[in-house]
Chain A
Amino acid sequence: MNPILMAIILVTAIGLIGAVILVAASIFMYVPVDERVEQITAVLPGANCGACGCAGCADYAKNVVENGAPVNKCVPGGAAVAAKVAAVMGVEAGASVPQKAVVACSGTCGKTSKKYEFEGIKTCQSVKGLYGGDGACTFGCLGYGDCTRACPFDAIHVVDGVAKVDREKCVGCGACAAACPNHIISIIPEPVKNPKRPRPVVLCQNKNKGADTRKACTAGCIGCMKCAKACKLGAITVENFLAHIDQEKCVGCYLCVKECPMQVIHIPANEA
């Protein structure tokens, strides 16, 4: 027989046999995939940020369908996506509170100083390992942008030595909060009850005594208790020379903002 013909027949035969086997296999070994998983994956933002606690958007969709995970866990998508996911699943969406990251440090370049020149790898993590950072205040923003690199939405940047959140872009996924070695970034829910009076936040993490704080930074909380006394609702507590505002109790009267001698209590929502 003609060898060329023989070769063509052989390869065709192998291909055909393989095709038959594969078709048979896909019929006999068919695994039913819940089509809702694909529908949910389609409505999710696809950022794979992990704010929901799953490995990615597809994983979250699978969790919703198979393990009954809550439909409103997608932080970047917010209420709109929660409603779409709920529609696919045929359940009520539940409230989805938008959240934003807040950097609790006001120590910009003019207000605090460096205690040494750092010449190592330019990350917060590594500078933190050397005497708690190169800033005079060891609690504040290190300014080497670990949060910027962690942010999947390009929403946080180091401006004037302190990380600043772009509240338009921020979705509150918490990637920056996890990356910050000083743990000064917190994820704070947007005020839903009274959106016109957003809650103030103490933008300082310095737990040293007032005099030491003042030496390190001119924009630090010195624990003078003025805000705690001014607050009529008892929403402010001072612990370790650092004021903390309970976001649940606060109604946004801004008495503390006026009272603070260091001007360290800010209203992040108004500063965007």
Chain B
Amino acid sequence: MSITIRGLNKIYPNGNHALKDINLEIPTGMFGLLGPNGAGKSTLMRILTALLEPSSGSVDVFGYDLTADRKQVRAILGYLPQDFRFFAKYKTYEFLDYAARLSGMNNRKERKQAVDSMLESVGLFDVRERYANRLSGGMKRRLGIAQALIHKPKVIIVDEPTTGLDPEERIRFRNLLSEVAEQGVTIILSTHIVGDISSSCRTMALMNRGQVAFYGSPEEMLKRTEGKVWRLKLRTDELDIVNRRYPVISTIPSGIGWEVQVVADDVAGFDAEPFPPNLEHAYVYFMENELNLWTND
């Protein structure tokens, strides 16, 4: 295991118990951290990046204790925060150069090569002289990941990376991460977008209210949902009843009525047929049935 988390707790000074006894094993490759807003994902990320001190518990990163060996841990970390803006007056290549310098790349020539090749690989070489704040949203994210990767870290922590990106950029970004993960790097991808995880992570954890609600592979999570997804054909007057009774995944108008997908153990009294589940269904089912969190109100 690349990262082992034991009995991790975080209580903020205002009394908010953000993380409750978290125990996790994070293997190399892409690891997805899923959960609704406020589940404690960001707190966990910030602890893992040594930006925040845990109240108790231990984190072992490639054999280093996160609290005692902070410097060593930092040396193998790359981080792309959620709200990633840029200093207005840095050029694209300067941003990478700065990160490279801080990672201990002393040799100017080597550093320049590394920066250029990284710019090439994230497709930003042509805009290297442009001020970073003039880049498009997708380019900014790519620059973000580039600065996290520049020093070839063993662990990369990526917080909500695809928020606000158009589908094309999102796919491009996921592919970029996957490529990196292939090189034996641990990537912790925190997101509330189910699609990010389903397409790239081999292992995942679902967090809720400061706790790990599920840990395993996305397939295992899907398996738990098999036979629990239904497609219903409804009249307009029935739609309201279904909406109140079941967690509705999608509602599509069809001819005179509606075609609705719901997750439930069983559906009675409606024109229902089973539907093959995806991770999004699994996430909703998990929230509804395992954690009883779902509400349509």
User: Are A and B associated in one complex?
Assistant: no
Residues of A within 8 A of B (CB): none
